[in-house]
Structure 1
Amino acid sequence: MRTPCFIANWKMNKTIAEAREYLQAVEKRWPQLPGAPWETIVAPPFTMLAPMADFLKERPLQIGLAGQNVHFEERGAYTGEVSPLMLRDAGCRHVIIGHSERRTYFGETNALIHKKIGGALRAGLIPILCVGETREEREEEKTGEVIERQIREALDDLRPGPSDWIIAYEPVWAIGTGLTPQPSEAEEVHRRIRDFFRSLSKEEEADTPRILYGGSATEKNIAAFMEEADIDGVLAGGASLFAESFCNMIDLGVKAKEK
């Protein structure tokens, strides 16, 4: 069984003091969370990574840290950028790459995302690759075609193993809108992604990366998503900004997956 994974993407929110308060609230709730295997990762703004890593070293919390973005070079004259080695040094094991907001607001292409994945892998980071379709692409029934192209071009000549990265399916039209696909619709896309990876290996039962759902995931709908066979967890945005809400999502999600 693939280990459920819950990722909190804070985007451009919180201060260092607020991050500390958040982790203290999670620490109080931690003993009440399920004992079954699961993984949780927090992706805060860059300024909080090192302070949060220091805080977590002194606590029993099993929380990983992820960067929200990364440059593909280790060092150089790239003002304002953060390298994979810097993320590792700050305490990260994962990094989000290709989030829809990076693609939409900052013009990131599949080719650039490919370079970032390569840089992350070379530095020993686990990429969390985000893929998803726009409303127009969905209405034109191009969801599968768009996502397979995003994955294929992001991979190109790279061939990471199943445990070397994570896929997050985030329908662009659902990000921050409160709109969500039906769990069965999301499951259909997740299954297609999993089948796509198996087609690359030419083995019907080959191991595949964990595939998470992202796109207005909340404590109200997470159980329904997690009950689906191919949904291995969630990449949460707004709902993850509140410690109690995110803990509820973990609790409900793990229990739903155990059914």
Structure 2
Amino acid sequence: MRQIIIGNWKMNGTKALVETMAREVSSRAASLACDLVLCPPATLIVPLVAALGGAPAKVGGQDCDARASGAHTGDIAATMLREVGASHVILGHSERRADHGESDALICAKVAAARAAGLTPIVCVGEDEAARQAGRAEAVVMGQLAASLPADFADPPAGLVAYEPIWAIGSGRTPTTDDIAAMHGAIRAALRDRFGAAGGAIAILYGGSVKPGNAAALLALAEVGGALVGGASLVPGDFLAIAAAAAPALGRAPGAS
């Protein structure tokens, strides 16, 4: 299975970046041994879809509401994202959990709404530094995983899981490769335990200060099915350098050791 490299622009980006990114991706995506998804702010989804044209890259949203419609000012329904060309949506990102108090139950409802709309949900889980220092990192992640995924999460087309150690996001720090491999292994075991054989085919992405300099080492780890990239996804050259690092892992199926 090809690895997946997802760019989360967060609350950044301009039409100029859309044009530059689309041009660079269009010229190089076909030569990469991975799949690309770009998740800009909602205001840039339409121009990015248009700028990419027929390029082999997909576009996603950064959040969606659990409800289909209604008097919910400022919110965006999953069906709206789908209608304007999005194929994926990030849900449960640590910044949404922290800044907006999103619970696992709410995230689970959003995942269900995304699947119903035909979107592939990218569900984020991860521990903060306090949990890591207290030796509770795995317990926290397993709890989020169990409560954030609906029963049909592994049904085709399956959703994606992204492990993001919160303390590493934007800090320039990363866990050791042993720590990352151990957490991805624990997530894989939990997915298999819950979903059976289908749980072995769900891609588990790593997100947490992924950069061109560390991408090859991270993407070579067992059970790492790709990367959720933050700041580096705003620099076309850096984002594509990370994507190029996925080549050595071509053909390694999720669940392989």
Which band: TM-score by shorter chain? over 0.9
The count of corresponding residues between Structure 1 and Structure 2 is 252
CA shift for structure 1 position 26: 2.5
1:201 partner amino acid: F
Q: Any conservation in 1 of the 2:125–2:161 contact (CA below 8 Å)?
A: yes
Task: Summarize the Cα distance change of 1:256–1:114 in structure 2 as closer, same or farther, 3 Å threshold.
Answer: closer
CA shift for structure 1 position 21: 1.8
Aligned to 1:151: 145
Task: Summarize the Cα distance change of 1:68–1:201 in structure 2 as closer, same or farther, 3 Å threshold.
Answer: closer
Mapped to 1, the partners of 2:14 and 2:108 lie a distance apart of: 31
Match of 2:210 among 197, 204, 217: 217
What pairs up with 1:135-174 in 2 under 5 angstroms?
135-161=129-155, 163-174=157-168
Aligned to 1:23: 22
Unaligned runs of 5+ in 2: 253-257
Match of 2:44 among 37, 48, 51: 48
Mapped to 2, the partners of 1:71 and 1:173 lie a distance apart of: 26
What pairs up with 1:100-179 in 2 under 5 angstroms?
100-161=94-155, 163-179=157-173
Secondary structure of the 1:220 match is helix
Secondary structure of the 2:247 match is helix
CA shift for structure 1 position 227: 1.2
CA shift for structure 1 position 252: 1.5
CA shift for structure 1 position 55: 2.0
CA shift for structure 1 position 155: 2.2
Aligned to 2:255: none
Q: How large is the Cα RMSD of the aligned pairs?
A: 1.8
CA shift for structure 1 position 78: 0.4
Aligned to 1:237: 230
1:197 is aligned to 2:191 = yes
Secondary structure of the 2:171 match is coil
What pairs up with 1:73-84 in 2 under 5 angstroms?
73-84=67-78
TM-score under structure 1 length normalisation: 0.92
Instruction: Describe the superposition over 1:3-43 as per-residue Cα deviations: whole angstroms up to 9, x where unpaired.
Output: 20000001111112321122112333446x33x4x211000
Q: Any conservation in 2 of the 1:223–1:256 contact (CA below 8 Å)?
A: no
Aligned to 1:9: 8
Q: Any conservation in 2 of the 1:218–1:239 contact (CA below 8 Å)?
A: yes
Mapped to 1, the partners of 2:153 and 2:25 lie a distance apart of: 36
Secondary structure of the 2:122 match is strand
Q: Any conservation in 2 of the 1:226–1:257 contact (CA below 8 Å)?
A: no
Q: Any conservation in 1 of the 2:112–2:150 contact (CA below 8 Å)?
A: no
CA shift for structure 1 position 87: 0.2
Unaligned runs of 5+ in 1: none
Mapped to 2, the partners of 1:194 and 1:142 lie a distance apart of: 18
Mapped to 2, the partners of 1:258 and 1:161 lie a distance apart of: 22
Mapped to 2, the partners of 1:45 and 1:20 lie a distance apart of: 15
Mapped to 1, the partners of 2:194 and 2:156 lie a distance apart of: 12
CA shift for structure 1 position 206: 5.4
